[in-house]
Amino acid sequence: MSLLEVENLAVRYGASQALFDVSLTLGEGEVLALLGRNGMGKTTTIKAICRMLPLAGGSVRFAGQEMSRLPSHRAARLGVGLVPEGRRCFPNLTVLENLTAAARPGHWDAARVGALFPRLTERADQMAATLSGGEQQMLAIARALMTNPRLLILDEATEGLAPIVRQEIWAAIGTLKEQTGLSILLVDKSLSELKRLADRAVILQRGASVWSGAFAALDHTTSARYIGV
């Protein structure tokens, strides 16, 4: 049994349907890349998995439990940790306060996330609003880890960041994979970085999953056709 099983997912925004038929599975300890051109439904799929959107059809099962009708806080409690697009933190709380506000019991605490992102330790007492974009992204990932998730979902975690900061974020995700065996779902534009980290990929086109397989099996013809590279 996979940790996450998404079957025939359909989602509507009012009258317009964004997802028609998305299916994917993610195993324990696996890193899965969710790929597709802009507007194909990646963020909507993630929001549906995190139960932030009602389903018009299909199902989401996590750790053997049917989540399709659960509210988002229940999904979080079951172990789905999201780093949303746009890295939302509490701007008027310090770094440390942001971390402790997210904390749930488990093996991740402020010291351990501080070891993963030393910059956050250095800036523990600084207001989140005054952090650089990269530091805010690190804080957003650290906050998700503080919830002690079984699945970490990262939506465009490196978007809009300087190359050197991107490398820090990718290195941290690599460390998570190697040292903790955390299950990770990634959306990102950098195929070369995903290739290094992801075990498998699922490609979305117009709200449907049209390809899935080992990332290494993703050939040039397929990526040219569905991703545009």
- Where on the chain is the footprint of ligand ATP (CB under 6 A)? 13, 16, 18, 36, 38-44
Residue 90 amino acid letter: F
Find the shortest distance in angstroms from Cβ 11 to ligand ATP: 8
Say if residues 17 and 56 touch (Cβ distance below 8 Å).
yes
Nearer to ligand ATP, 29 or 39 (CB): 39
Take residue 24 and report the two structure tokens written for it: 């994917």
Find the shortest distance in angstroms from Cβ 103 to ligand ATP: 29
Find the shortest distance in angstroms from Cβ 191 to ligand ATP: 14
* Calpha distance 32→194 (Å, rounded): 9
Find the shortest distance in angstroms from Cβ 212 to ligand ATP: 16
* Calpha distance 1→184 (Å, rounded): 16
Say if residues 74 and 25 touch (Cβ distance below 8 Å).
no
DSSP code per residue over 145-170 = HHT--SEEEEESTTTT--HHHHHHHH
Nearer to ligand ATP, 15 or 164 (CB): 15
* Calpha distance 167→157 (Å, rounded): 11
Find the shortest distance in angstroms from Cβ 126 to ligand ATP: 30
* Calpha distance 188→155 (Å, rounded): 7
| DSSP-assigned beta bridge partners for residue 60 | 6
Nearer to ligand ATP, 30 or 156 (CB): 156
Nearer to ligand ATP, 36 or 134 (CB): 36
Nearer to ligand ATP, 53 or 152 (CB): 53
